[in-house]
Amino acid sequence: MMQLRTATLASGVMMAASIPMNAVNFEGGLRLVVLGNPASLKPQELLLDTGSSTLAFCDSSLAKTLTAAKTEYLSCNKYGSGNEGYWGPFYKGSVELGTDVSLEESYYSIMQQEVSMPCGQGLQGIFGVAFKQLDQAADHPGPLNWPAGGVGTCPAPSTTLVGPLMHYLKQDTPQGRLGIYWSGQLGASQGDLFVGPTAVSNSHYKQGPALQAQLGETGYYDITIQQFSFGGQQYPVSCSQFSPCLMDTGTPIMMVPMEVYQKMAGGEAGSLSVQMAGPSDTSVSLEFDAATLVRLNYVAPYQSGEPYILGLPLWATYYTVFNVAKQTVDFVKHSSEELQALNDYKNTQATVVV
């Protein structure tokens, strides 16, 4: 099930039916990683990140063999409260993903300076798959002068460059679809990345009814959470431009209202329901087992002023398919056997959130 397969589109373009992903522990939380590399170079383990549109490699020494591919554009990104980030030149060329996919004429960056990026402990960069957001690029052929060990300023962006995977989807599939599957387990080949039509023709999608929600306009995988429900009570949520609600594979926990978290952490069992806006003024609700989320340290209390994030634990219960053109996301609940395996799984490497 986890091995790479290929399929031919009507246009004659060869593409992968599934690209295996590993689930690793990084800084106390689980992450999904995919192998990627500039053509002919050694594969790198990259964090799959729906919260970013950048493909960036950590190893600055890669630049020595790619001088001909270097552009005059610079990638400079800051994250969190602005105390994390990196800068590095953009390169243009072929990028290999997995073992059978080649993303031709793609833009990617090589970090020359980074602070708190997924570099080390087995991770070697970011593979951002934000479906609409364009990577901001500055026409800046020279280096930046960031302080040692700290984040400095970024030059004003002068152009936008489409991230490699989105360029691939939009070029080769009119309805660019991206499917993300994770078994909920730690280890090699515990996930699959599906691109194009295969996202809706695989066994994960076909095993049950698909629940559909809307995606927003900010460029990331943003959704409109209307309310959480737990223990017979409802907890309304307000999502906005300044306080968005996001799905992010790069975040190892799900955020819930403080009162809900306190009840769950206090041992109250039951189903946690997350209601989101669906198409045409409808709503859709996802259901999670509260005891499992707490036992695996997959849940955290929402902090005022931060976005509501449904992180990687979302994928431990649901297979998701993002439709780039229609701005929708489909959720298909895992099989009873997969959910039982999740219930039996003991995540001893995750960090307890207090």
Q: What is the pLDDT of residue 80?
A: 74
Q: Which domains does the chain have, with CATH numbers?
A: 5-172 (2.40.70.10), 208-344 (2.40.70.10)
Residue 214 has pLDDT above 60, yes or no: yes
> CA–CA separation, 49 vs 260, rounded Å?
27
Residue 349 has pLDDT above 70, yes or no: no
- What percent of the chain is helix, strand and coil (3-state, nearest 5)? 15, 45, 40
Q: pLDDT (tens digit, 9 = 90+) per residue, 152-195?
A: 999 988 877 766 666 655 555 555 788 999 999 889 889 998 88
The model carries a pTM of: 0.84
DSSP string, 109-176: EE-SEEES-SEETTEEEEEE--SSPPEEEEE--SPP-PPTTS----PPP-EEE--HHHHHHHHH-TT-
User: In sequence order, which ranges of the chain are alpha helices (DSSP H)?
Assistant: 164-172, 203-206, 258-265, 290-295, 336-344
pLDDT of residue 305: 80
Percent of the chain with pLDDT over 90: 49
3-state class of 202 per DSSP?
coil
Angle (CA) 4-5-7 rounded to 5° is 145
Of 287, 290, 295, the C-alpha closest to 261 is 290
pLDDT in tens, 110-160: 999 999 999 988 899 998 887 555 567 888 888 999 999 899 999 988 877
Q: How confident is the model at residue 240 (pLDDT cuts 50, 70, 90)?
A: confident
Q: How far is CA 89 from the centre of its chain?
A: 23
CB under 8 Å, gap of 24 or more: what pairs does 233-238 form?
A: 235/259, 235/260, 237/308
Place of tokens 């990259």: 46
